[in-house]
Amino acid sequence: MNTLARKASLTLDTSSSLTSLVLDFAENSAKAFDMTDGDASRIRLAGEEVFGYLCNTAKAGSEVMIEALNNLYSIEIRFTFKTGSFDPYAFNLTAFVSPDEGQTENLGLLIASRAVDRFSIRYNHPHEVVLSLVKDKSYPQWPEDEGRAGVSLKDFVTKRPDDETVKRFVRQGARHYTERIFPAPFRVPPRMVDMVIQGDCHMLVACGTGIQGGEVGGGIIWRLVGKGMIEFYGPYIFDRTLGSNIAITLIDGFLSAIAKTDRSGAYASYTTDDLPAEYFESLGEIGYSLEDGCKQNRGFVYRQLKEDAGSHVWASRKLEPFLHNVYDRLFLPRQIVSTSFEGESRAPHSVLSVEFDRPHSSVTIRPVWDGEDYAENLAGHVQILRQEGLKNIFLDLDLGVPWQAKLIPALFDSGFKPVLLLPYAGQADVVVFQHVR
Amino acid sequence: MVSVPLSDLIPDYIKRFEAYVPSKPDAELMKLYGCSRLFRLNNNENPLGPPPGAQEIIRRFPPMKASLYPSGDVYFVRNKLASRFSLDPDQFLFGNGANEVIAFVIKAFCQEGDNIITADRTFSVYEWVAEFSGFEARLVPIKDFAFDDEAMLKAIDGRTKIIFVCNPNNPTGTYWNTDKMVRFLDTVGGRQIVVIDEAYCEFVSKSDYPDGMKLMAEYPNVVVFRTFSKMYGLAGLRIGYLVGNPEVVDVIRRTCVVYSVNGVAQDAVMAAIDDDDHVARTRELVRTEKTYLASKLRALGLEVQAAEGCYVMVRLPMSDTLAYRKLMARGVMVRSMTGFRFPNWIRVSIGRHDAMKAFIEALSAILKNTARAPSGRVPS
């Protein structure tokens, strides 16, 4: 049986004599995982630069494990190594290093970070670092007008879709809704099939019965976020006659599907007018500036799945009035624990990750790594993003991570203000800050 | 320090399984939610507490007896129950609450590749124990709030070992009458073990309600679960049991953990078993307060599912987990039902009148403050 290859791994010494082995491994894995030649070359380049960095900075005799993971719609190259001196500065959007400044190692990381679509860095106490580079797979173009104009079902059932039904649903979704409601990553039918098979996206659809069994009247999409949250999208309704029935049945089915998972709640901002309001609570709204200069408020709805047993969150005093207000309004039992920098040592360089949402002209920054230059780094990001023409700059701060809570005063000083709280969206609640000047 | 290769050690079915996290202690919850008193209407506990005789036993339990192991197989209680129900003492097996005996049965009969069948919206522990033991739990959707006998029979295959029927069902309160149960058992034809969970049987006074213990004579594949946590008010002491055909019980005994029922529980049960007056008083309280509660809830325009058992379900025009938080802030703890796959429903245990009144007042205030919004608009 010809089964799909999903993983390859290599463990080796950080010795430059093994570089060609790493290059071949990265490139050939990418090709084996169905990436295009161009994308495989980029993966090869990223692998070369990271491995070069490790060879230059690691102690003699140290090891690195390199894994190539086939996520179907993307490839992930994961480096796991032990170090006491990893400087991830170059992974910042703002990073610019030159060999003249004696930072040749960081130049390699900079090249690696630009060769892929996303990255993450995880630090496992005491000295293990896991660096993941992700490159998305390219899909052929598909004609957008293939979805049917309208659907009229006599009756319907909800179910987890097969591959062809996923594609039919996506085509209908792309036809009926704009990117502001049916987001860009979900608009490519074969990519969505791969995301569902990979388990990174879940879907429930309403299909016709009998002779109409191939018709899709609506659906709902969800994905896991962080350790305890689900983000859902929809319900998308293509059959206006059965609309509210389909919407309620989809929401009931969705909630039943996630009720017994380890997730504590679900939220959405990509909702439709068919969302049955009584199932959700409002977290608030965020005001967006649109490309044409108009303003638009976007509501966030939330549904807790479990009885809230309360928790503690880390915060600095400046954020406490906002938190008290939100926790009182949402009846969320929380103990706020204050924290701040008190002269303890910090790494020299911080890292921020950036996720773009072009249809909303918005971008979300997330702290990845703390460092002394955090305020300066953040200001640099804001400047570059403004220059890029992005009108909405957000920063997600996880109140379950003490070092992130210590960054709050610098956030206020940099012109950010808290606008929304997502319960349990990270290790604890996540506060969304918006840049306002 | 060596690192533990957990991903290599953990079976896949454990990786998939989510641990159940019980509520925090009342004092912690009251502090977190800022309430000065708390009515516990979430666990179907008996508001009258244990029978007076059992209370006296607990009060006078000799401290020195705590240093002695209890009877390992709950000897005296088994004999007393056997006499009460005209069965053999060896037909009874005890556990640390009825939850434990669920595990005994599943471990005794299931092996890799086997499955159990129950309903999708019932007491969750059958499903949990099967899944974290590596067996498939086939969950058959309930129909009109009741176990769907036809669909359950269709779900049976050659690897089905046990069928769990919660009678009356927790949380819907529906039950199979004697005719339906007999028809079901006839069709099963003894090929699977049929567990009839009668945790709430003492609250049912309907004449057509079947007595599982009597059915065992004709259907040796029937195993009955009962508990002292509900009607007998001994939930805090954790004692429940199963009863079945001697040959079946002999098999289950091999997976039974002995010495898991403590001495206080055994002594208290001895004093509780014959207190029929306590049963009558509890039934009367539940009947009166359930009628009051259902009528008040219906007057609020809410859909109510009030059948057998010491609880009712009510559908809210809002998220049940939000209602839970708002009720907690007003000092009333109920069970939100999303976890039972009943989104927007809550289950309310029947309590004393002051608790029922407090719940109705709190819920009325919450609903009054909940603005109704058109579809697509969530009230803030």
Three-state DSSP class for residue A281? strand
Q: How many CB pairs under 8 A join A and B?
A: 106
List CB contacts (< 8 A) between A274 and chain B.
375-376
Rounded to a whole number, what is the largest CA-CA distance in chain B? 65
Cα–Cα distance measured from residue A114 to residue A135, given in angstroms and rounded to the nearest whole number: 10
Q: Report the 10 Å Cβ neighbour count for B353.
A: 13
Q: Cis check for the bond before B374: say yes or no (omega within 30 of 0).
A: no
- Residue B195 · residue B188 · CB < 8 Å: no
- Interface residue A227 vs chain B (CB under 8 A): no
Element (H, E) at A109: helix A104-115
Residue B87 and residue B93: Cα distance in Å, rounded?
13
**What CATH number was assigned to the domain covering residues A7-136?**
3.30.565.10
Mutate to test the interface with A, among B18, B21, B131, B319 (most CBs of A within 10 A): B319
Q: How long, in residues, is chain A?
A: 437
Closest Cα of chain B to A53: distance in Å?
27
- Closest of B222, B246, B165 to residue B198, by C-alpha: B165
Given CB atoms, is A309 within the 8 Å cutoff of chain B?
yes
Token pair recorded at residue B211: 């007595």
Contact call for A277 and B378, based on CB within 8 A: yes
The count of C-alpha atoms lying within 13 angstroms of the C-alpha of A421, restricted to the half-sphere facing its C-beta, is 24
Which chain A residues are closer than 8 Å to B23 by Cβ?
307, 309
Contacts of B380 in chain A (CB under 8 A): 282, 284
Q: What proportion of chain B, given as a percentage, has pLDDT over 70?
A: 97
Phi/psi-derived region of residue B70, left when phi > 0, alpha when psi is between -120 and 50, beta in every other case: beta
Q: Which of B43, B65, B45, B49 is nearest to B266 (CA)?
A: B65
Tell me if residue A268 falls in helix, strand or coil: strand
Distance between CA atoms of residues A373 and A351, nearest Å: 9
Cα radius of gyration rounded to whole Å, chain A: 23
The beta-carbon neighbor of B379 closest among A273, A277, A284 is: A277
| Choice among A350-354, B129-133, B227-231 with the minimum mean pLDDT | A350-354
Query: What does the pLDDT average to over B143-152?
Result: 97
Query: Which amino acid is present at A220?
Result: I
Helices B353-369, B276-299: axis angle to 10 degrees equals: 20
CA distance A277 to chain B (A): 5
Q: What is the model's pLDDT at position A421?
A: 96
Q: How far is C-alpha B164 from the geometric centre of its chain's CA atoms?
A: 12
Residues of A in contact with B34 (CB under 8 A): 333
Query: Choosing among A275, A285, A297, A331, which should be mutated to test the B contact, i.e. which has the most B CBs within 10 A?
Result: A331
pLDDT of residue A46: 87
Q: What is the pLDDT of residue A105?
A: 56
Is the CB of A282 less than 8 angstroms away from the CB of B29?
A: no
pLDDT-wise least confident of A258-272, B53-67, B359-373: B359-373
Token pair, residue B147, equals 């176990």
Domains in chain B (CATH in brackets) are 6-49+277-367 (3.90.1150.10), 52-272 (3.40.640.10)
Helices and strands, counts by H and E, chain A: 10, 19
User: What mean pLDDT comes out for the span B270-291?
Assistant: 96
pLDDT tens-place string over residues B148-201 = 999 999 999 999 999 999 999 999 999 999 999 999 999 999 999 999 999 999
- Measure CB to CB from residue A279 to each of B18, B29, B319 and give the nearest one: B319
Beta-strand ranges (E) seen in A309-389 are: 311-315, 334-338, 351-357, 362-369
Question: Does residue A241 or residue B96 have the better pLDDT?
Answer: B96
Neighbours of B253 (CB within 10 A): 14
Give the torsion through C-alpha atoms of A280, A285, A289, A291, to 10 deg: 0
Judge whether A7-136 and A311-435 match in fold: no
Q: How far is CA B370 from CA A24, B174, B325, in A?
A: 62, 31, 14
Please tell us whether the domain made up of A311-435 is placed in CATH 3.10.20.30: no
My answer on whether omega of the bond before B50 falls inside 30° of 0, hence cis, is no
Query: Count of CB atoms within 10 A of residue A421's CB?
Result: 25
The whole-angstrom distance between A176's CA and the closest CA on chain B is 17
Third-level CATH fold of A144-279: Aminopeptidase (3.40.630)
A260/B contact by beta carbon, under 8 A? yes
Gap between the Cα atoms of B363 and B295, Å rounded: 14
The DSSP bridge partners found for residue B274 are none
Q: Outline where chain B has alpha helix (H).
A: 6-9, 12-15, 26-33, 52-59, 75-85, 98-109, 125-132, 149-155, 178-188, 212-218, 246-252, 263-272, 276-299, 320-329, 353-369
Q: What is the pLDDT of residue B6?
A: 85
Are residues A261 and B24, on separate chains, in Cβ contact within 8 Å?
Answer: no
B255, pLDDT greater than 60: yes
Can you tell me the ipTM of this complex? 0.84
pLDDT classification of B380: cutoffs 50, 70, 90: very low
Return the CA Rg of chain B.
Answer: 22
Which chain A residues have a beta carbon less than 8 Å from that of B373? 277
On whether the CB atoms of residues A119 and A134 are closer than 8 A, the answer is yes
pLDDT at residue A99 in the model: 47
Which residue did the predictor score with more confidence, A83 or B77? B77
Residue B63: C-alpha distances to residues A260, B59, B67, B280 (Å): 42, 10, 8, 32
CA distance B166 to B311: 15
Sort out which chain B residues have CB atoms less than 8 A from A281's CB and list them: 318-319, 322, 378
- DSSP for B180-234, written as a single string: HHHHHHHHHTTSSEEEEE-TTGGG---TT---HHHHHHH-TTEEEEEESSSTT--
What residues of chain A lie within 8 A of the CB of B345, using their CB?
none
CA distance A282 to chain B (A): 5
pLDDT for A371? 86
C-alpha angle B261-B265-B271 in degrees, rounded to nearest 5: 135
Contact predicate A87/A81, CB 8 Å: no
Q: How far apart are CA B198 and CA B202, in angstroms?
A: 8
Put simply, the answer to whether B321 touches A308 (Cβ < 8 Å) is yes
Among candidates B29, B319, B374 on the partner chain, residue whose Cβ is nearest the Cβ of A280: B319
- The pLDDT tens digits of the residues spanning A329-368 come to 999 999 999 988 888 888 888 888 777 776 677 888 889 8
- Range of lowest pLDDT (A47-51, B86-90, B208-212): A47-51
pLDDT tens string, chain A, 437 residues long: the values are 445 778 999 999 988 899 999 999 999 999 999 899 989 988 898 888 888 888 877 766 788 999 999 989 999 999 898 876 665 555 555 555 554 555 555 566 666 666 777 776 666 655 677 888 888 888 887 766 655 567 888 889 999 999 999 999 999 999 999 888 998 889 999 999 999 999 999 999 999 888 887 889 999 999 998 778 999 998 999 988 887 889 999 999 999 999 888 898 999 988 999 999 999 999 999 998 887 788 888 899 999 999 998 889 999 999 999 999 999 999 999 999 998 888 888 888 888 877 777 667 788 888 988 888 888 888 888 887 888 788 899 999 999 999 999 899 999 999 999 999 999 988 899 999 999 96
pLDDT recorded at residue A205: 96
Q: Which residues from chain B sit within 8 angstroms of residue A331, using beta carbons?
A: 322, 325-326, 328-329
Subunit contact B341:A309, Cβ cutoff 8 A: no
Reference A165, options A117, A217, A237, A236; nearest CA is A217
| Location of structure tokens 């003249």 | A100
Q: Where are the domains of chain A?
A: 7-136, 144-279, 311-435
Q: How far is CA B82 from the centre of its chain?
A: 23
A89: left (phi over 0), alpha (psi -120 to 50) or beta: alpha
Bridge-partner residues for A397, per DSSP?
A: A431
- pLDDT surpassing 80 at residue B346: yes
**Residue among A307, A327, A424 with most chain B CBs within 10 A, to mutate:** A307
Q: What's the pLDDT at A124?
A: 62
For the record, the structure tokens of B27 come out as 């004092």
Structure-token pair, residue B247? 């040959």
